[in-house]
Structure 1
Amino acid sequence: MELSEIRREYTKGGLRRKDLCHDPIEQFEKWLQQAIDANLADPTAMTIATVDATGQPFQRIVLLKDVSKEGFVFYTNLGSRKAQHIDNNSKVSIHFPWHLLERQVHITGHAEKLSAMENMKYFTSRPKESQIAAIASHQSSRLSARGVLVGKYLELKQKFANGEIPMPSFWGGYRVTPETIEFWQGGEHRLHDRFIYSKDNSNWSIERLAP
C-alpha cells in the first residue's frame, strides 16, 4: 500500500478576503449552514483537543449543540477525561473537518461550564433514550464488558418507564469562548486559502496565512 501515491487536487473554489464576514461567528454560521445544506454527514461533528496534567494532548469527536457570539457549546459527562483535562487547563482546540466541501475551521479558546439552567434546558430536550444513556454511562471509566453498560441502561429504562428522568449531577455542558478562528479552503496545486481571525479585546482582526 503506497500511501505516498494517494493525492488529489482541491477544486471546489477559493476564498478571498472580500468574501469574508467581518465577524468570524457570522462566517462560521454561513459555512455551517452550507455544510448542512450540502447534506454532509454529521456537519456539527467537531474534534476537541485537550491536554492532561503531563502535557499529553488528547482528541475526540463531540457534537456542536449551539453557537453564538459567546462561543461554541457541547455537552458531556463532567467526570469524563475531557472534563478532567478542562478542569486542570481550560485551553482547548476545536476542529471542523468538512471534507466534501474542501473546508476546515480551526478554533482555539478556553472552555467554561454552562449554568445549571442551560444544562437542564438542553437535557430535557433530548430523546428519552439519550437521557437514560447519560445516566448509565460513567464516561471514560473502565468497563469489564459491554454487557455491564447495556444492563445498566436496560435497568434504568425500566425504572423510568413511566416517569420523568432526572438530570444527573455529573452531566453538563461547556461553552468554548474563541480567541482565534481560522477558515481553510482547499486550493489547486496545494495553494490553499487560509484566513485567521484573532481577538483583541472586543475586536477581531483578519490575516491571511500561507498554506
Structure 2
Amino acid sequence: MIAIINTGCANINSVRFAFERLGVNPEVIRDPAQLKQFDRAVLPGVGHASVAMKRLRDQGWDTAIAEYQNPLMGICLGMQLLCDETEEGNVQCLGQIPGKVSYLETGQLTSPHMGWNTLSVCNAHPLTQGLNPDDQVYFVHSFAHASNANTLVESEYGTRFSAVVAKDNYAGMQFHPEKSAKVGATLLNNFLNWQL
C-alpha cells in the first residue's frame, strides 16, 4: 500500500493519477499517525519552502517522516524539504537527505527552470533502472540541491544539479515524474519496486 502525503502544498491528483495508470491505487492521507501503516509513501510539494515546512511541523509530519522506515520519496518541493536546509526562506528542512538547496544559478537562461531536460545517471541504484542517456523529464523549479554523494541522477540548466537523490529509505526527484510521460512512469515504477 502506498500513501500520498497531503499537506495542502501540492496537486495531489496528478500524482495519484500517475500511480493509478501503473495499476496502483494510492491512499491520500492527512494524518501523520496514518503513515506507519503504509509500505511506502510519497511527499509531493509545490510552492514556497518556508510555508510548506511550517505546515509539516505544525501538523506533525516532521516527526512521522523521521520515524518512517519504509521507502519515502519527495517530488519537486517535496524532495527539497527532505534535505538539510534551503535558501528559499532560509529554513531548516527535514534533514533526511544531506545537502543544501540553493537558488539555481541559471546564467543567461530564464528562471525558473521550466520544461523538459535531459537526465544523466551518475550512481547506479534501483531507482535509476531503465534510464537511458537521452531520457528527458519535466522540471519546474527555481531552487536546486547541489550534487553530492547522495546524488543518483543529475541534470543541467545553467549549472549541474541533483535531479534524483537518495539516502537510506529516503529519495527525491526534483522534476515531476507524474508529468514526464514514459520516463516518469518508469521512475515511479522503480519506486514501487524499490526494496531496501
- TM-score bracket for this pair, using the shorter chain length: under 0.3
Higher relative contact order (CA 8 A, sep 6+): 1
Between structure 1 and structure 2, the one with the greater Rg is: 1
